[in-house]
Structure 1
Amino acid sequence: MPLRFRPFALACVAALVLAGAAYTLRPSYAQASATVTIDTTTRFQIIDGFGTCLAGTGAQSADWQKLYYDDLGASILRVDLTPNFAAPYSDFTYNSPWFHNNPALPGPDDNNVRSYTSPEDYSREWSGRRAPIAVMKADATQNQSLFDFSAEMPQTGITAAKAGSARKTALGDFKLIASIWSPAPWLKVASGNTIGGQSGIGPRNGTAWPFIWGGNFAGGKLDVSNTPLAVFNDGVQNTSALTQFARSTAAYVLGYQRAAGVSFYAISIQNELNFETFYNSMTYPMSPEYITALKAVRAEFDKYPELKPIKIMGPEDLLGGDAYGMWEYGPLAHKNLQYLKNIEADPAAAEAVDFYNIHGYAGDGVSAAGAVPQLWDWWANGWTASPAAGIPGDVKGFTSYGKKSWMTETSGEAPVWLSPSSGFPGNGAWSVALRVHQALTAGQQSAWVYWQLSDGGDASDFTLTDKTLKNDAPKYVAVKHFAKYIRPNAQRVQASVAGSTTIEASAYIHDANKTLTTVLINSSATAQTMRVRLPSAPAGISTLQTFTSSDGSMWKSGSAAVQNGEVTVTIPGYGVTTLYGTGSGGTAQPTATSTTPTPTLPACPTAAPVATPQGARPRAFLPLTSGGGTAKCR
C-alpha cells in the first residue's frame, strides 16, 4: 500500500477552461475498419462529479479557484475533518514542544514524539507539561467554541467551498465532502502496533501507536468500549470516548459548515481505516469497531436539523493489490468487502451508510486495453468462487447492496505523459486517463477524486499540476478529458468497440442538458482511426467538439461533422480523445477562448525547513508556532 505524507490541512478540488491550437477532424475521408457504437438505451451509473484534495493555502486564491472550477470543471471538494482545537488544547502543537526545539531533539523519553496509551494517560506529565482535554458537552453549538475555524487548514477548505458553492449553477452541481484523518488524540487507545523504518526527526523505531508527532495525531484505535471515564466528565456525568467522538464530530462539522455557509454532502468517519502512520491516522482493524463508531456518529447527527441531511460514506479503505486486500489480512484485519458484508448485516449500520467509497491505490491500477481490472471488478461485483486460499466464496460487491460507490483518493503517477518512456506506459499521465476509465467502467464509480491539484511545488507523482504548467500539465489534462465534459448527473451508457483490441471507450449522456460525451483511449503506440456511431438520442447533434492529447501535444481542440449518424476520428498512439456534442435545444458546457488569461497558481507559504521522515513522500510544512499557538506540521 502506498505511503503518502499528507498535510494536516486537506481538502479536495477540480476545474473548467479550454486551451490548445484548433484543428478539424475530417468526417469520413479516413478509412476506419474499427467502430465504437454508443447505445443510450443501455445505462449504468449516474456520475456525481470529479475533484481533488487541497494542500497548503493555495485554494484560497481566486486564480487557483478559476483553474480548479472554471477550467478543469471540478464539482467536488474534499476537505480534512481532523479537528483544529483552540487554545489551550492545541498549545505548543498539542504539547509536542520538541518540534519547536524546546527542548532540543530528542525530546523526553528519548523520542521525537509524545506517546500515550489511552485517554486516562493522555494528560500525563511530559516535558514539564500536562496536555489538557477538550471535553464535549451535550450541545454541539456550545462545543464549537472549543475549535479554531480560523486556522489555515479549515480556512482554506472554507474559502474553497464558498467559491465552489457560488459556481454551483454553472458547474451543474457542487458537493462538499470530507474525511476524518484522525479524531481528537485523547479519544484513542493503543492498537498493539509499533512504527518502524524511521530515522532523523521521525519517531523512534518501535514506538507504539498512538502518539503525537509535531501536532499530528498518529495512529491508534478509537476507544469504542463506551466506558464512562472521569477525564470525560461533561459537568453532568462521566462520558465515554465513543460519546465524545460523536459529539466532537458533530460540533466540528456543524461549525465548519456554518463558517462556510455550505452544507456538507457527505463525510467519511475515517480516511483509510486500516492504515496507521506518523501523520494524522487511526485504525479500525475489525468491522465491529468501525460499525460501533459509525452508528454513534449517525445517531448524534440525527439530533440536529443541520446535520441530519449529511450522508455518511465509507469504509474508505485502499483498493489493495490482491484478493486478501479485498477481504482480510489475516483474522485480525478486515478489508474492503468484509466491511461491506458486516455493515449490511447490521440494519442500523446499513441505514447509517448512504453509499460506499474506496481509494484507488492498487497493484492493478493500470492494465492493457481489453483486460478487465480484476480489483475493480471484485469491488463492484464480488466473486462466486474463492479467488485465493482462505478466502470465502460467494462474496458480494458493492453493487449487490443497491448503493453507489465513489473513488475518493488516488495518486502516484509520474508527471509526464508517458512513463516509462519505452514499453507500456503504465505510470504516467496517459495512465491516469486509463485509470479514470477503469474506475468508471469496470469499477462503476459515480465520482472520481484525485489526491491534490497542486501543492506549491513542481508537478509530482502526487499532484496534477503546478504554478508553471497550470492547465498544460499532462496529468491535469488527462483528468480534464473526463472532468470537463462529463457533467454532474450525466449517466454512463454503453460504448461497444469492434475491430480493435487497443481502444477503450466510454460514453455519457446528460438528459437534462441534451449532451453526449465520449472518451476514447488508445493503448497502443500506433494511431487508430475509429468510426463512432452515435445514438438517436440526444437528437440533433450535427457536429462534435473534439479534444485530443498525446505525448508532446496537450488538449488540441477541433470539430468533427456528423454524417449518416457517425463521425470518423483518429486517436494518436497512447492518446486520448474526448468527443462532445449538444442536441437540439440542449445546454452546452461553456468553453473558454484562447484570450482567457491562464490562472497562476500561488506558491505555498515559506515554511520552516524540516526533513521528511523515512518512508514518506514529500509534503508541505506550514509555519510553526514558537509556543502557545495552534499551527500544525502538515
Structure 2
Amino acid sequence: MKNILILTFLIPFCCAGCKKNSSSPNRPPTVQEVKTTLLLDSPAFTFQFTATATDPDLQSLTYLWDFGDGGSTHDGPVVTHHFEAGKNYTVQVKVSDGQATSSVYAVQISTQVSQINIDLSQHFQTIEGLGGFGMQNQTWTDGPFADQRYINDLLNDLGLSMIRVDLPYNFELHPGYFNIDTQAAGRQPLKTYFPFLQAMQQAGVKIIASVWSPPAWMKSNGRIDNGTGNQASAPKYNPNPGPDDNELRLDMYDDFAHMCAVYVQVLKEHGIDLYALSIQNEPRFSEWYESCVYDGEALHNLLKIVGDTFQQRGYQTKLFIPEDIGWLDGIKGMVMPSLQDPATLPYVGAIAVHGYAFDGVTANSPDAQTWQTMYSWGAPYGIPLWMTETSGFSNDWNGAMSLAKAMYTAFRFGNISAWLFWTISTSQIDSYSLMDVNGNKSLRYFVSKNFYKFVRPGYIRAGISADTSTHIYPLVFKDPQGRHITVILINDGADQAVQLSGNGLPQQFVQYLTNANTKFDSIGMIPSSKAILLPASSVTTLYGTY
C-alpha cells in the first residue's frame, strides 16, 4: 500500500452550458469533491485523484479526467497521474450517467519547488538541552510524580534532554535543619522526587532547579509568598526590607547560599548531579504563591555569595540568572550588575529568560529584536542564553503552530541553547502543559517532539535560509562529530514543495510530519535530492545520518 499525504480540498467551479435540461426526466450526476493526494513513494509529483460523485437516479457513472497537460483518461473515480515539475496545472473531471453530464469539477495542482539553502560551515549556538518543568503531576500536589509510563514518554518518545524542578522551601524549614523527609503545606518531602530524578540522571538528562522562595524564616515578611492570597505585583525593591516586604533578609544571604550548597550535596549523595541552579525565579515579581523580590544589585550580591560558596566547595553546578519575564529593560536591569562586575561575571553560567509573548518570526519583528538584544548581553563573554519557561499557547492546532514559531524565533534570533516548557504534565491538559498525568498528549507535545527528538545536546545550529515569500521558517542542526543532521521546516503558508541544496548533505532523510491531523508521523525515507512536500500549516523534521 502506498504511503500517501493528503494535500488539499478545493471547491468546484461550473462551466456554462452544463446545466440540466428541465424538460428531461433524467437528472445529471453531481461531483461533491475531488481529494488530491501526493504518492510519496512514487516518482516526484505523482498524484492520486479521488472523485466523489452521486447520481439522483442511481445510474452507473463514467468519469472523464483532463489533467491539464494534454493527458486524459476514463479510468473511473480514482486515477493517478505524473506531472512535470515546476509548473501549475488545472485538473478537471466530468461525470456522466450516459444521458447527462455533470458540471466540471476542477482542482489546482502546483509542482513549483522552492529552494532551501543549507550552509553547514556556518556555526551558531551549541544546544545544551530541550525539555520542561516538572514531574507527572506538579510538585505541590499529591502526585503521581513519575510512573514508568511517564518516564518512558519523556525519554523514549518525546526525547527530552533537560528537566527543570524547584528547590523546595521545606528542605530547610528551620535554621540548619535539612531533612529530605519533611513534608510541609503544598510540598511533599524532597525524597519523594528522588526516583524520578535518578531515572533522568541515568538517562543522561540534564537536571536544573530554580528557587521560588527561600524558607519563610529567611524572609523579611516571614512568609514564602506575598500574603495576599490572590494578587501579584512588581514592587520597587526595598534595600532595607521590612515586615511587609516579600524579600530575603540581608542577614540571610550566607544562610541562603549554604542551603543551596547543601541541596546540591544531598542530591549528589543520592546519585543526582545538579547541572544548574537559578537562585530566584522571576525576581522582580511578588506573587500570591512562592516568590521573592530582588533588584539587579541585590541579585548580584546574592550571586556573589552563592558563587563563592560553590567555588569553595568545588561544585561544578552552573548558576543562571535572572529567569525574568516581560519588560526588556526590566530584564536588562536584573542582568547587567552581575555581568559588569568582574567578581560575579565568572559565576553567570547562563542568562535565562522566560519566553512569554516572544513569537514574532521575521528579523525586523519586535520579538526577534528582543531575542537578539538579550543574546547580545552574554555573547561577548561566551555566556549562553536559555529560555527556561513558557506556556499559554492554546490547546489546539493554532496554539501548536504558535509554539513552533516561538521556538523558531528563539533559536534563530536569540541563539538560545536551552528551551523548557512550563509545565510538561498536569492533571488535565491545558494551555500550561504538554500532556496530562494519564499520558494524553496535546498537539503542542508533538510540535515539541519535532525539536526535542532529534536536536540533541551538543548539536550545533548551522546556516539555512528560505525565500521569505514562502512563509517557511527553517532551522538546521548538526552533531559535532558530523554523523547526523536535523532539519526543521515550519510551513506557515500553503501546501508547497521544497528542494534542499548545500554541500555535504546526507543522501537521504527520514521525514516526520506534524499538523492538525498528523502527530509526528514517519513519512518514510526520502532522498535529499528529491522534492519534499510541506503541507500547509505544518511542522516537518528531517533526520539524516551519514
Q: TM-score, normalised by structure 2?
A: 0.72
**Are the equivalent residues in 2 in contact too, given 1:58–1:64 (CA < 8 A)?**
no
1:298 aligns with 2:269: no
Q: Distance in 2 between matches of 1:381 and 1:542?
A: 38
User: What residue in structure 2 maps to residue 120 of structure 1?
Assistant: none
User: What residue in structure 2 maps to residue 417 of structure 1?
Assistant: 397
Unaligned runs of 5+ in 2: 7-37, 46-84, 86-110, 238-243
Q: Distance in 2 between matches of 1:27 and 1:577?
A: 20
Q: Distance in 2 between matches of 1:507 and 1:205?
A: 40
1:571 aligns with 2:534: yes
User: What residue in structure 2 maps to residue 591 of structure 1?
Assistant: none
User: What residue in structure 2 maps to residue 277 of structure 1?
Assistant: 287
1:496 aligns with 2:444: no
Structure 1, 549-558 or 22-31: larger mean CA deviation: 22-31
Aligned match for 1:354, one of 335, 349, 357: 349
Aligned match for 1:187, one of 197, 218, 234: 218
SS for the counterpart of 2:313 is coil
User: What residue in structure 2 maps to residue 452 of structure 1?
Assistant: 423
User: What residue in structure 2 maps to residue 530 of structure 1?
Assistant: 498
Distance 1:381 1:371, change over 3 A: closer
Q: Distance in 2 between matches of 1:465 and 1:536?
A: 38
Q: Distance in 1 between matches of 2:367 and 2:468?
A: 27
Q: Distance in 2 between matches of 1:348 and 1:582?
A: 45
1:464 aligns with 2:409: no
* Superposed counterparts of 1:74-473, under 5 Å: 74-85=160-171, 89=173, 134-136=174-176, 143-145=177-179, 148=182, 152=188, 154-168=190-204, 174-189=205-220, 202=229, 220-224=246-250, 240-259=251-270, 261-284=271-294, 286-305=295-314, 308-318=315-325, 320=326, 325-327=327-329, 335-362=330-357, 365-367=358-360, 369-381=361-373, 397-418=377-398, 428-457=399-428, 459-467=429-437, 470-471=440-441, 473=442
- What percent of counterpart residues are identical? 27
**Are the equivalent residues in 1 in contact too, given 2:166–2:209 (CA < 8 A)?**
yes
SS for the counterpart of 2:461 is strand
User: What residue in structure 2 maps to residue 109 of structure 1?
Assistant: none
Distance 1:85 1:518, change over 3 A: closer
User: How many correspondences in the alignment?
Assistant: 431
Q: Distance in 1 between matches of 2:310 and 2:121?
A: 40
State the Cα distance separating 1:85 from its structure 2 match. 4.1
SS for the counterpart of 2:435 is coil
User: What residue in structure 2 maps to residue 476 of structure 1?
Assistant: 445
State the Cα distance separating 1:468 from its structure 2 match. 5.7
Q: Distance in 1 between matches of 2:365 and 2:189?
A: 36
Aligned match for 2:152, one of 66, 88, 109: 66
Give per-residue Cα distances to partners, 1:44-75, cap 9 Å, x unaligned: 00111211111143442111000011100001
Q: Distance in 2 between matches of 1:25 and 1:497?
A: 25
State the Cα distance separating 1:190 from its structure 2 match. 5.2
**Are the equivalent residues in 2 in contact too, given 1:560–1:567 (CA < 8 A)?**
no
More strand by share: 2
Aligned match for 1:546, one of 482, 489, 511: 511
User: What residue in structure 2 maps to residue 556 of structure 1?
Assistant: 521
Larger of the two Rg values belongs to structure: 2
User: What residue in structure 2 maps to residue 605 of structure 1?
Assistant: none
Unaligned runs of 5+ in 1: 1-19, 90-133, 137-142, 169-173, 211-217, 225-239, 328-334, 384-395, 419-427, 584-634
Distance 1:555 1:337, change over 3 A: same
Q: Distance in 1 between matches of 2:232 and 2:213?
A: 21
Q: Which has the higher contact order (CA 8 A, sep 6+)?
A: 1
Tell me which amino acid in the other structure corresponds to 1:533.
S
SS for the counterpart of 1:267 is strand
User: What residue in structure 2 maps to residue 171 of structure 1?
Assistant: none
Tell me which amino acid in the other structure corresponds to 2:216.
P
Q: Distance in 1 between matches of 2:156 and 2:535?
A: 27
**Are the equivalent residues in 2 in contact too, given 1:23–1:558 (CA < 8 A)?**
no
Q: Distance in 2 between matches of 1:441 and 1:281?
A: 32
SS for the counterpart of 1:243 is helix
SS for the counterpart of 1:511 is coil
Distance 1:353 1:158, change over 3 A: same
State the Cα distance separating 1:543 from its structure 2 match. 1.9
**Are the equivalent residues in 1 in contact too, given 2:168–2:190 (CA < 8 A)?**
no
Q: Distance in 2 between matches of 1:579 and 1:351?
A: 38
SS for the counterpart of 1:536 is coil
Q: Distance in 1 between matches of 2:407 and 2:160?
A: 14
